Structure 1
């Protein structure tokens, strides 16, 4: 739990917490770790972030960096990790002296416009450098990857969503400002978790969640039935709910087999590689639907994701955000307003560069028109 709300609650504009923002900014600005650069030791990156921007301990910084590289934690990872960065089974990442990292290709869309003075900066913790208040994200990171955090007196828990659906909704909202949440849900079908799973909520329930900014999303793992050549059948679980530890889930299945609480279930095997594949061997006369119904009720194969769309919104003080629970439309509207401001400042920067260049070229033109006189003046001097 965080004592300061600003460290645990993301900004509605770039969708990042301070530690995430500083990691991305430090990797880009100080180490130039774009997606085309060579991998660099995480220990070196963490040291830079801690020494220049985030003096809160290397463990917290490394944990945040690791999560940003896990494709089972983030729908669209922002860090490209090389080495052991943990697994769905709950395995911890290797120590930072062993792992390497660089920014993911998608992260370039978050920092691409930094050089054109599109955002404001503030002094770092010791006043020796400057850091961005927010970064000029070109993607709706807040809803794209979601976030979770607990601070004193408040919490946030935002699910991830499909980027294509978010972009369609943003385009529609930019053209029709009077759209309501129900109209936006024609594009955004609901959360899109990196581990897959089936969402059980009805359309009306999802609409209420997105209109109020809070609620509960029911998620269950998906499964399929495989027929064996000798006549038997296997139930194969192909996805699990978000944030569920796979090894603990398999252990729970095994416990049911050992204690014979679910007699139709004969054996359990975890055959997962890159994709989830948990094999449940059932008796020939067993009803797979009843077996799965029992597992959904008595194991974490079905869970609830508590939605809380709380984030920091801009105030009169550009360095301080106010926590507020928003609905779906408000989040998208804040992002569009932010992008309008960023693009305006980017064009102003480009215009100023062109004007400065034009001023120099006009001077060259005048000199060229009076070239003979200029040469005479130079010779006389």
Structure 2
């Protein structure tokens, strides 16, 4: 008797997506049209997207510097859409991986011979790792962390892309540092990385990414109070073209990127990438961002709702 529905999924190309709320899904779409805030939906802030095949594997990078292998076919399949998909029909990361308390998922990565990852820690360490994937393991570490440190940002970055990419750090005291990714030589999985950004006492890295600078590259910074409970302070928000910030050398302190208002003493969230940027609350509900660009080292505009997720175009 023939089955009404094929029991085996064809190994076709797809893209695996992860939302700011920790939902995972795959889509057959290979290209995503740039869209603004005109058509928003819940869970549409995508913080990571990687090419894959339906029956292949990808990696999930966590804050402990661990890569966890995931089977793509287990992920929900989304229908094709115009623009950026919303992941309301996705599945939570917890359905596939049981992360210990305090460990969080940061990004997705490909698992092939050209794979690479750039990552940074809260204490300002940076590292690039090229393809070194154990064939017989479901998880493996990609950095040796100092006691008390953790990975706060990671992104897929292969050797070819690194030649034209920059690394961008944003720190909790309102500094931004950008420099060529080629300034960080690749290391093996067991290495501990190298100096990325110089931090002032008490500061930490809030945001880290790698990107190829473009005219539409922007930086979003959200300031608030370190004493406020997470998710309760709307803070002040600023969007500034990345080009406003001059590049500095690896291991330096960067330049001022956000001036604090009265009652603010920290950047609670930051993001750099291809605009238009988009934001969401902790539950995935779309949130408004300023429509007017801010000065390089100016203050932000008062927010209307606490934001916990930032993203841009794919």
In the superposition, the TM-score normalised over structure 1's length comes to: 0.24
Q: Which has the higher strand share?
A: 2
Q: Which has the larger radius of gyration?
A: 1
Q: Which has the higher helix share?
A: 1
